[in-house]
Amino acid sequence: MTTHPDELAGLTGLFSDQERAIADSVRALTTREVEPHVADWFERGEIDDPRGLMRKLGALGLLGMHLDGYGCAGTTATEYGVACLELEACDSGLRSMVSVEGSLAMFAIWKWASEEEKQRWLPGMAAGELIGCFGLTEPDHGSDPANMRTRARRDGDDWIIDGRKMWITNGSLADVAVIWAQTDDGVRGFAVPTETAGFRANTIKHKMSLRASVTAELVLDGVRVPDSAAFPEVRGLRGPLSCLSEARYGIVWGAMGAARTALECAQRYSVEREQFGRPIGGFQLTQQKLADMTLEYTKGVLLAVHLGRLKDAGALRPEQVSLGKLNNVREAIDICRTARTILGANGISLEYPVIRHANNLESVLTYEGTVEMHTLILGQKLTGQSAFQ
């Protein structure tokens, strides 16, 4: 008789009835609406009816679910984390759609925009009727946003924005783009309707990762927006970095979802696949792999839960999010790669989810802060010395 990895350490006992109910609801949605199609979407590099999918996610209350008001569900941070785990257990691209909508675009507007802009965008975004994206990364500036080249300048009562943003999830679907730009008054944020003249989004093709996700380059060529589109108070990198911390928190949980799926697949395969007259799960080296994967998965979930409880208590610090993002994504990739070895040649087939999750996690490892950036964030906190330059 096999034991599920969650049962081995009693992980389900860490969660409340409400948290487990959310997990069940998200899993039911992904099982019904996404899992039957996601391997095909990944292979083709496109999603069937992504706007319809976003509406279904909104109907379940998953978009901006940890925000209050404006049609948002107002859940706890841990409940949001549980949802991210279940979404990424299906596919990292699905969790990215939700994270960018809720933790980046919606959070930026909810936290920093005027009340007029909040009322204009947030209710429709929470319902999935409107889609948002978050424009910070540029072709030449990813980990160094302070040197972004996108610029906004005053022209009477308006702003004119010029620049390019790269690797933008939901970019060519979006109705509104949160754009961060240099101004004479420091970095500022703008809620830019994508129908504005001079704005265009070019879908990025030829990806080998996050293929069941829409990624785009944003081009802003003399885009004119009223002063009401500008976030009125926040200046500098404090604005975008606050949003990134929200998104990174979701990744801490989501990565463990991808890891769980790969681990479950490898465990099932090990008791079904026979070599040398017995299931490969009966061999010591296979059992060592399964035990090591389960150990790292268990520690990752425990870390996610701990950070979730801290966030719910209002005590979570950015460097603690970096700790979680660095550990959990790195370990999730290793779990997927090890699971692939248990499946042998079948491990590279899209008939199984393992290689899809492994490829997706290569993107997750990079976005919202690379391994190097999070390592140096932790190093600075540990030593008091900055080694970024």
Q: pLDDT tens digits, residue range 42-100?
A: 999 999 999 999 999 999 999 999 999 999 999 999 999 999 999 999 999 999 999 99
Residue 301, number of CB atoms within 10 A of its CB: 24
For the cut 90, the answer to whether the pLDDT of residue 389 exceeds it is no
**CA 282 – CA 17 distance, rounded (Å):** 36
For the cut 90, the answer to whether the pLDDT of residue 308 exceeds it is yes
Largest CA distance in the chain: 80
Q: Which residues are catalytic?
A: 368
Q: Is 205 helix (H, G, I), strand (E, B) or coil?
A: coil
Q: pLDDT tens digits, residue range 313-345?
A: 999 999 999 999 999 999 999 999 999 999 999
Residue 27, number of CB atoms within 10 A of its CB: 18
Instruction: Provide the percentage of residues in the chain whose pLDDT is more than 70.
Output: 100
Instruction: Provide the percentage of residues in the chain whose pLDDT is more than 90.
Output: 97
What domains are defined for the chain?
5-127 (1.10.540.10), 132-235 (2.40.110.10), 238-383 (1.20.140.10)
| The predicted structure's pLDDT at residue 144 | 86
Residue 17 has, within 13 A of its CA and on its CB side, a CA count of 0
Q: Which candidate, 127, 116, 129, 132, places its Cα nearest to that of 171?
A: 132
Cβ neighbours of residue 28 closer than 8 Å, sequence gap 6 or more: none
Rg (Cα) of the chain, in Å, rounded? Answer: 21
| The residue to which tokens 């404006």 are assigned | 70
Cβ neighbours of residue 384 closer than 8 Å, sequence gap 6 or more: none
Torsion of CA 355, 362, 341, 47, to 10 degrees: -10
- Two tokens, residue 141: 């500036």
What mean pLDDT is reported for the chain? 97
Indicate the pTM of the whole model: 0.96
Residue 213 is classified by DSSP as S
For the cut 90, the answer to whether the pLDDT of residue 25 exceeds it is yes
Q: Which candidate, 357, 159, 324, 342, places its Cα nearest to that of 257?
A: 357
Q: What's the mean pLDDT in 359-384?
A: 96
Q: pLDDT tens digits, residue range 239-290?
A: 999 999 999 999 999 999 999 999 999 999 999 999 999 999 999 999 999 9
| The predicted structure's pLDDT at residue 388 | 87
Contact (CB, 8 A) for 130 and 121: yes
